[in-house]
Structures are given as C-alpha cells and as structure tokens.
Amino acid sequence: MNKAERVFTAFANAFPLWVVVGAGLAVWQPATATWFQPTWIPLFLGIIMLSMGLTLDLKDFLQVLKMPRSVFIGVVLQFSIMPALGLLIAKGFALPIDYMIGLVLVASCPGGTASNVVCFIARTNVALSVSMTTCSTILAVLATPLLTTGLVLFLSRDLLGDSIEVDTLGLLINTFKVVIFPVSLGVLLNHYFKRWVQAINAYTPFLAVLSIVFIVDFILAVKKQAILETGATLILAIITLHVLGFTLGWGLARLAGLETQSARTISVEVGMQNSGLATELARSNFPGFGLATVPGALSALTHCILGSLFAGWCRLRPAGTKIKQGDK
C-alpha cells in the first residue's frame, strides 16, 4: 500500500468514530446533517453495497463450499435469533407501532458490511465473515420481506386488533434493487476489470463508511425531537437487541461445536445488521409510519459501538485460527 491507501484504510477502520461523531453533531446541530436529501438514501445505500461487491470475486463464493457447516449455522442463526429477538423486544418494551416496525426491519435484515470490518479488526475468521455476509445478503431478497411481513402483521393484530397493510412485493423489489443489483455489479466489475478495481479498493470502504454516516446522521437530525421524547426506551430496546444478538450468536455457535474463531465471527455477523437497508425499506415501504426509520439509524450507531468494543476484547484475548475438521 502507498501512503494514501494506508490513510484511507485507517479512516475506514475507524468507522465507529465517524458514526459516533457524526451522530453527536446531528443531534447537537441538525443543520450539519439536514443538507442530505431523503431521496438520496437508495443511491448511498447502493454505494455501500457496490463497495461490498467490489471486494468479492466469483471464486470467493467457493469459500462457502470450504466451510459449509459454519456458514449454514451462521446464516440460520442470523435469520432466526434476530427476528425472534426483534419480536420479543418490541413487545416487551411496549414500543409505539412505528418503532416496532423499524425494529422488526432491523432484526430481519442480513449482516452488514461493517461486520466484515469488525471481523478484520478483531482478527477473527474474515473468510467466514465475508461468506456469511454474502449468503445472508442473497437470501435477504426473500427472507427479509417475508419475515418483516409476518412479524408486522402479527404485531399489528396483537396490538391494534387489525392488520397493517404490508406491501410484500414492494419489499421484495426494493430489497433486490438496493442489495442484489449493486452487489452483483461490484462482483462482475471485480471479475472482469480486476486491475482497475484493485487500484480503487483501498478507497471504496471509506466511501461506504461515509455513506452510512450520512444516512444515519440525516435520520437522527430530522427525527431529533421524537428521539428526545421517546428515545430512551427505544435506545435501550436496540441495545438489548444487539447485545443479545452478539451473545446468543457466540453461545449457540459454540454449542453447535464450532471453534472459538468461527464462533466469534458468527457473533459479529449475527449481532451487526444491515441497518442502512432497514432504514431505506422503512422509508420506502412504510410511508405512513414516519418514525419507522429511526430504529435503523440508532441501530447503526449502536452496533458500531458494540462491534468496536467486541473487536477490542478479541484483540486482547486472541484465539487460535485452526478450524476443526468437522467444520469443513
């Protein structure tokens, strides 16, 4: 790496700092974030997903075949633990229906690209992290809309006595547009224009970090008053969701017989969701519930902080990287 590439890589690895600083500025001085336009969210989310795709090649998908058991366990935990926690926490904290919808969306989303950065910093199994993120992202085209629809309908009937209309097809289409298309484009560009992509790969992660910071800060700035009025309960609910995601992801992976490195990786992947995707799906598919975007923004801030703490703990308590034979 040259000096510029090292600087941009360091900036990207410091993503929790940018998220926290940006969030603080957005709440203190909303004008620092309200220049952002809501119609730009799909574009910037596309930049995030494209950046992820540019780090992958077609051969990377073969990694799944090298560790099928770990990937399978991780993805199953991703789409079972988090949605179940989302439902229980939304009810247990008696959140307003807007926040319930947002929390359910966060819990039903795949792992985010930030999890790969955390796994890199934590020195866990990065190959497993990328494989899990890739698989959960692909599966999210169906899993996220279906899980969200089922959970929102259950909560609305239970709390309101009536069903909220959920555009499942719209969720499917939007998930495809903002996830599969840009990731696939990135993979194809990396495969056919590898030299060009390698020249910019040191810079694109920081662009992805800035994109999520802009989205999060905008939501926090615009919804500042609502957050200040009812935010304490919501923040506690989101912290609970992610802490339990990290904890159960690790504990159940260990119970399934996976070694420490893989269990730590799965913990990160389960505990860190694609909150940017949750924010966009809430904005575009639940327009009648304006505060449904808030949980996604607060989730991004929360899991970045928790992920950083977890990475620091992992670096202080290193584990071997050997994978058990039964894991192959």
pTM of the complete model beyond 0.85 = no
Q: Give alpha helix (H) positions in the chain.
A: 3-13, 15-28, 41-54, 63-66, 68-92, 97-108, 113-122, 126-160, 168-175, 181-192, 194-200, 204-222, 224-255, 260-271, 275-285, 294-316
> Is the distance from CB of 18 to CB of 256 less than 8 angstroms?
no
What would the pLDDT profile of 40-65 be if each residue is shown by its tens digit? 888 888 888 888 788 777 776 676 77
User: What DSSP string describes 252-318?
Assistant: HHHHTT--HHHHHHHHHHHH-B-HHHHHHHHHHH-TT-GGGGHHHHHHHHHHHHHHHHHHHHHHHS-
Name the token pair of 22. Answer: 């940006």
Running DSSP on this structure, what letter comes out for residue 161? S
- Greatest mean pLDDT among 96-105, 282-291, 294-303 lies in 96-105
> What letter represents residue 101's amino acid?
I
- Domains in the chain (CATH in brackets) are 3-29+38-317 (1.20.1530.20)
Name the token pair of 246. Answer: 């990290």
Where b means 16+ CB within 10 Å and e means fewer, 244-272 reads: bbbebbbebbbebebbbbbbbbbbbbbbb
CA dihedral 19, 40, 297, 151 (to 10 degrees): -150
What would the pLDDT profile of 104-118 be if each residue is shown by its tens digit? 999 999 887 778 778
Running DSSP on this structure, what letter comes out for residue 111? B
Count other Cβ atoms within 10 Å, centred on residue 81: 19
pLDDT for 66 = 78
Residue with tokens 């957005």: 26
Share of the chain above pLDDT 90, in %: 24
